[in-house]
Structure 1
Amino acid sequence: MNDPAESLAVSAHVPAYAGYFADPFVLRTPTGYIAYGTVPSATPGASPPSDGRQFQMLTSPDLVHWTDAGGALIPLPVRLGTDYWAPEVAYRDGQYWLYYSLGHGDKGHHLRVAVADAATGPFVDTGVNLTPTEAFAIDAHPYRDVDGTWYMFYSHDVLVGPRVGTMLAVDRLATMTSLAGQATTIVRPDADWQIYQLARPMYGRVLDWHTLEGPSVVRHDSRYYCFFSGGSWKNAGYGVSWAESDHPLGPWHRVHDAPRILRTIGHEIIGPGHNSVTVAPNGTDVIAYHAWDADLTARLLHLSPLRWTSGGPRVDGFSGPELSNAVN
């Protein structure tokens, strides 16, 4: 079995790396791949990088064999936050830009950006809060369109509408360290599987809280697909779906009767979510995501081939007509 894509297909339900590795983002480089992931320091079972930096890095020549590459980000003062979530890296003009969220627990998170001359860092924070007007912003996803325009997709809290909670937004990246200030909510909760918690105390109220998070955008056949996670990452109902658009700014539409991209499969895959998409050495698309181990003590890195069909994107073993009733 010499083709890495074949190895991924066979081992789709087997973690690609044994250590704790949540919110995986995989960057393809001229010499291979670098994965960046969240490894929370206060979580039992997690082992943060020994070099004292935030965000674990892994390197691979083929998406199959992975090696620990240490930590990515030089940490900031504790007063700015203690919880570092969901790193993603973009390359522009000879520099690498790491976008992430920082806060205390599930309170007051905002988006930040760090920069380095190498893809493996060390990344140094630029001192910029990208979302100073947001009460809660996480899961930054920088996206470069075919015309060279950069956009920032992320999740933020919205308290109006029939289903309130954390939703997907987009803004234009005016520079790599500033947003245009024209953020728009693009995908809102529309189904019960996206409920995070009923009667959740939030913002001085008690609300049935929904969560859409982890946006990741791919352009395929001149159309844009925004993959996102929905529901509670603590529950087996957590899964990945998608919305479609003709332009990064929208309007974005979700196919309500379409199956999810990823979902729990017995004890093989538990609570898969927060994905990114990269390209395998043979040119096919691969989706990276985390899923819980059998003991529910760690979120582990998984990779699976992503197929494009007339009915939209699919991951074999997760999506198909037999799962359509599980969506809404």
Structure 2
Amino acid sequence: MSRASIAPAHPGYFADPFVLRSGDRYYAYGTGLDGQQEPGGLAFEVLSSPDLRTWVSHGGSLVPVTDEPRAYWAPEVAERGGSFYMYYSVGIEDKGHHLRVAVSASPLGPFVDQGLNLTPDEPFAIDPHPFQDDDGAWYLYYARDDLTGERPGTVLAAQRLDDMTRLVGPPVPVLGASSEWQRYQRDRSMYGRVYDWHTLEGPFVVKRQGTYHLFYSGGAWTNETYGVGHAVADHPLGPWREPQEGPVVLASGLGGLRGPGHNSVVRDGQGQDHLVFHAWNALGTQRELHIEPLVWTSDGTPQLALG
């Protein structure tokens, strides 16, 4: 029998979670701390665990880029050559976000920003996700605003990542909105006009049995419309196709979850995949960390193992 409800893996606010496995430990990073609570404070809380079940907080992990108030969103960390690279966005509240990279010798930080705006030509870019292919090439997936499609809003793009600190070539389109469930808000004022705004964000890619699988979040992160969809491709840059329409991986109501989304995937030492995501608590006052085993159906669709 499936569980009636899914409990959070750690108390407290922990949005947009990402988990890195490094050595025999796991490290979770999330949106929450902005480093401005106290002088010299660090942004992005980092947790560690030996088993994906028991987590300990180590406080903030990123040295803020400025003393001025800023919003720090959605960190992900890649390990290469003994260094750890943190990708994230910085903006003023929900405006003007750009992607940046910081480096540390430890997964616990402190991560130091490298002074690089990775997306200087974008009016808005969030949710960076670094992915390494089997041939060693790195790619960075992210969400950006695009007003040219039939459903204007936030879409997904990707670029080659060179030396972990530079994006190569123009953004390659990955996915745009194609369905009503991806609607963020009707009559939203953006860029001097009013749009029926749609949102795709939080991209995350894994390769399983020769196929590239893209997880993404759609809808409005603020409410029950939020969920996780799934697309597949034969190359990291696509073309991507969605075998099934809808939030087929996560949706409100599953295991009692409310507005689940912005996921990552981590594989444990036994080869088991786990879905890492956030969902609202019952009072709707904070987004909490969830980690659940992930299984793949016979047709290649990822699902939570709730039995």
Is the pair's TM-score, using the shorter chain for normalization, greater than 0.5? yes
- 1:181 deviates by 2.8
Match of 2:11 among 18, 37, 44: 18
Q: Could you tell me which residue of structure 2 aligns to residue 87 of structure 1?
A: 75
SS in 2 for 1:208: strand
d(CA) in 2 for partners of 1:279 and 1:145?
16
Structure 1 position 235, deviation (Å): 1.2
Taking a change above 3 Å as real, the CA distance of residues 109 and 259 of structure 1, as seen in their structure-2 partners, is: closer
- Residue of structure 2 equivalent to 1:27: 20
CA 49–237 in structure 1, closer or farther in 2 if over 3 Å, else same: farther
Question: CA RMSD of the aligned region, Å?
Answer: 2.2
Amino acid at match of 2:22: T
Note the residue ranges of structure 2 that are not aligned, 5 or more in a row: none
| TM-fit CA distance, 1:317 | 4.8
Name the TM-score, length of structure 2 as normaliser. Answer: 0.94
User: SS of the residue aligned with 2:222?
Assistant: coil
> What CA distance in whole angstroms lies between the structure 2 residues aligned with 1:288 and 1:102?
22
- Distance between the aligned counterparts of 1:93 and 1:111, measured in 2? 22
SS at match of 1:193: helix
Is contact 1:12–1:302 with CA below 8 Å preserved after alignment? Answer: no
8 Å CA contact 2:33, 2:45 repeated in 1: no
Contact 1:172 1:182 in 2 (8 A): no
What SS does the corresponding residue of 2:181 show, helix, strand or coil? Answer: helix
Which one-letter code corresponds to 2:119 in the other structure?
Answer: T
Q: Structure 1 residue 103: deviation in Å? A: 0.3
Displacement, 1:281?
3.3
Kindly provide the CA deviation profile for residues 65-85 of structure 1, in whole angstroms up to 9, marking residues without a partner as x.
Answer: 000111110111145x60000
The SS at the match of 2:170 is coil
Structure 1 residue 256, shift from structure 2 partner: 3.7
Residue in 1 that maps onto 2:226: 238
Tell me what 1:261 maps to.
249
1:183 counterpart = 2:171:
yes
Letter in 1 for 2:151: R
* Deviation (angstroms), 1:29: 1.1
Cross-structure match for 2:137: 149
- CA 1:53 to 1:134, structure 2 compared with 1: closer, same or farther past 3 Å? same
Report deviation, 1:31: 2.3
Instruction: Provide TM-score, normalisation by structure 1.
Output: 0.88
Cα pair distance change 1:92/1:41, threshold 3 Å: closer
CA distance in 2, matches of 1:239, 1:10: 19
154 and 243 in structure 1: CA distance in 2 versus 1, 3 angstrom threshold: same
Q: Which runs of 5+ in 1 are unaligned?
A: 1-8, 319-328
Aligned: 1:248 with 2:213: no
| Conserved? CA contact 1:25–1:87, under 8 Å | yes
Identity of aligned residues (%): 50
Deviant stretches of 4+, over 6 Å: 9-12, 47-51
The letter of the residue matching 1:77 is T
Residue pairs, 1:144-293, within 5 angstroms: 144-257=132-245, 260-265=248-253, 268-293=256-281
Q: Is the 8 A contact 1:48 1:55 kept in 2?
A: no
Question: In 2, distance between residues paired with 1:241 and 1:271?
Answer: 13
After TM superposition, give the deviation of residue 277 of structure 1 in Å.
0.2
1:51-66 pair list within 5 angstroms:
52-66=41-55
Q: Which amino acid aligns with 1:65?
A: T
Counterpart secondary structure, 1:181: strand
Measured in 2, the distance between the counterparts of 1:284 and 1:84 equals 31
Partner of 1:77: 66
Give the count of matched residue pairs. Answer: 305
- SS of alignment partner, residue 239 of structure 2: coil
Please say if residues 230 and 238 of structure 1, whose CA atoms lie closer than 8 Å, have aligned partners that are also in contact.
yes
- How far apart are 1:267 and its partner, in Å? 8.4
